[in-house]
Amino acid sequence: MKIIDAKGLKCPEPLMLLHKAIYEANSGEEVYLISTDPMSVPDVKKFCEYLEHKLKEIKESDNLFEFTVIKK
């Protein structure tokens, strides 16, 4: 599993880091993104929907957003 720590970064940087990690990942590999930007939620959802990756999980607590994405 690749882990991306994008805490403190603003849109579009967390999504750009996720895109790079997904590009480098193998099919079926999980990528874990941690972000503090609330705009990451709709961005990651749309990214996964558009590129057909599986958004396995979203967790939110204390302005921390955690995503687990599986590359198609």
Residues belonging to the active site: 11
5-23 pLDDT, tens digit per residue, is 999 999 999 999 999 999 9
Task: Please name the fold of domain 2-70.
Answer: Translation Initiation Factor IF3 (3.30.110)
What is each CA distance from 68 to 40, 50, 53, in whole angstroms?
13, 16, 10
In degrees to the nearest 10, what's the CA dihedral of 17, 5, 61, 8?
A: -80
Q: pLDDT of the chain along its 72 residues, tens only? A: 999 999 999 999 999 999 999 999 999 999 999 999 999 999 999 999 999 999 999 999 999 999 999 999
Single pTM value for the model: 0.95
Question: In terms of DSSP bridges, do strands 2-6 and 30-35 run parallel, antiparallel, or are they unpaired?
Answer: parallel
pLDDT at site 11? 92
